[in-house]
Amino acid sequence: MGLTTYIIRRLILIIPVILGVVVLIFAISTLIPVRNRAMLYITSPRQLDRIDEIIEKYHLNDPVYVQFGIWLNELLHGNLGWSQSNRPPKPVAECIITKFPATFELVMFAIPITIFLGIYLGVISAIHKDTIIDHITRFFAIIGWSLPSFWLAILLIAIFYVDLGWFLAPGRVSNPQLLPTTGFRSITGVYTIDGILNGRLDVTIDALRHLVMPVTVLVVIQVALFIRVMRSSMLEALAKGYIITARAKGLKEKEVINRHARRNALIPVVTLAGLMVAGMITGVVITETVFGVHGLGQWAANAAINTDVPSVLGFAMFTAIVFVLANLIVDILYAYIDPRIRLD
């Protein structure tokens, strides 16, 4: 089976998966009392006294299959309800779109660094097994994975912001409310990119100084797991017969490592990377909260605290779709790294 055919099959298979997710989220929503579910359709505080009218209008007391049809129709039109935790209330879809750039900006810098360091240090640790390099790398991985993210974040703020003043925190950029008055236009919502598009390198540099500490927290915590997984996978690959054969043929050690061992050791790392990317895209609550980054994670946590049912359900739908797409990309990468996977 060719790679193109494999991709097409995977694309077709995600349709029932997404449909299953939609049905599951709707089924969970039906467990919520009817009057609370009616909050999905409230667009202003004045409607709070008209709950019964809303229940009748949207058939919330009708049979489940009727409710599902109406809910699915609203979903297909991009209507996820109104977020009541916002003041004033806003459509949930609009909230997700507005909050996403802040989270994406963190992810955009944290993910490449994490994956590169995790693979590189994991390989180095494996090929220098039981040496001082291996011990130091493993020690770093254990410490990094054991550190609470909030503690590391507060420590970095205390040292590099309060004491030394090297980096800026909290927030995403200094004085964001003043930027529109200087002619700055928000094009993507990502300050590091918008600064370049507006010809304002000062904004880009300022945003980067705000990003250093939160990105460091994400990288330190996540790269630790990558190192451990990559090291274990690499050690397993190095013990395979084809590696012994490659060395017996006289291939250079660098070629054996890079072309044969590392490529085959990447499968579990690709799985881990897919889950990590999806998890970060859907919000890193603690990091966003400590550093004042008003992204998806902080918004979703605030919605849950305030029992904002529409926002929680909308965020659950967004998260499910992101993870489904991440798994699709992981499957495609599997087939690219190891063509044997396509032969089923």
**pLDDT range class, residue 191, cuts 50, 70, 90:** confident
Q: Give the pLDDT of residue 338.
A: 65
**pLDDT range class, residue 40, cuts 50, 70, 90:** low
Q: Give the pLDDT of residue 168.
A: 72
Give the separation between CA 326 and CA 38, rounded to whole angstroms.
32
**pLDDT range class, residue 127, cuts 50, 70, 90:** confident
Is the pLDDT score of 271 beyond 60? yes
What is the mean pLDDT of the segment spanning 240-269? 74
Task: Considering only CA atoms, give the Rg of the chain.
Answer: 24
Q: Give the pLDDT of residue 277.
A: 83
Residue located via tokens 């579990």? 268
Is the pLDDT score of 44 beyond 80? no
Q: Give the pLDDT of residue 221.
A: 86
Q: Give the pLDDT of residue 260.
A: 67
**pLDDT range class, residue 50, cuts 50, 70, 90:** confident
What is the mean pLDDT of the segment spanning 5-33? 81
**pLDDT range class, residue 176, cuts 50, 70, 90:** confident
Report field, pTM of the whole predicted structure over 0.85: no
Residue located via tokens 């030394």? 164
Q: Give the pLDDT of residue 289.
A: 84
Give the separation between CA 64 and CA 43, rounded to whole angstroms.
24
Q: Give the pLDDT of residue 48.
A: 66
Q: Structural domains in the chain?
A: 18-90 (no CATH), 91-342 (1.10.3720.10)
Q: Give the pLDDT of residue 274.
A: 83
Is the pLDDT score of 343 beyond 60? no
* Peptide linkage before 63 cis (omega within 30 of 0): no
Question: Which is higher by pLDDT, 318 or 169?
Answer: 318
**pLDDT range class, residue 342, cuts 50, 70, 90:** low
Task: Give percent of the chain above pLDDT 70.
Answer: 92
What is the mean pLDDT of the segment spanning 94-113? 89
What is the mean pLDDT of the segment spanning 154-170? 81
Is the pLDDT score of 148 beyond 70? yes
The torsion of the CA quartet 185, 191, 192, 198, rounded to 10 degrees, works out to: 10
* Peptide linkage before 170 cis (omega within 30 of 0): yes
Is the pLDDT score of 198 beyond 60? yes
Q: Contact at 8 Å (CB) between 265 and 237?
A: yes
Is the pLDDT score of 244 beyond 70? yes
Give the separation between CA 210 and CA 100, rounded to whole angstroms.
17
Q: What Cα–Cα distance (Å) separates residue 51 from each residue in 26, 42, 44, 344? A: 20, 8, 12, 54
Question: Which is higher by pLDDT, 127 or 244?
Answer: 127
Q: Which of 46-60, 86-100, 189-203 has maximum average pLDDT?
A: 189-203
Residue located via tokens 């032969």? 343
Q: Contact at 8 Å (CB) between 41 and 82?
A: yes
Is the pLDDT score of 329 beyond 60? yes
**What is the residue-averaged pLDDT of the chain?**
81
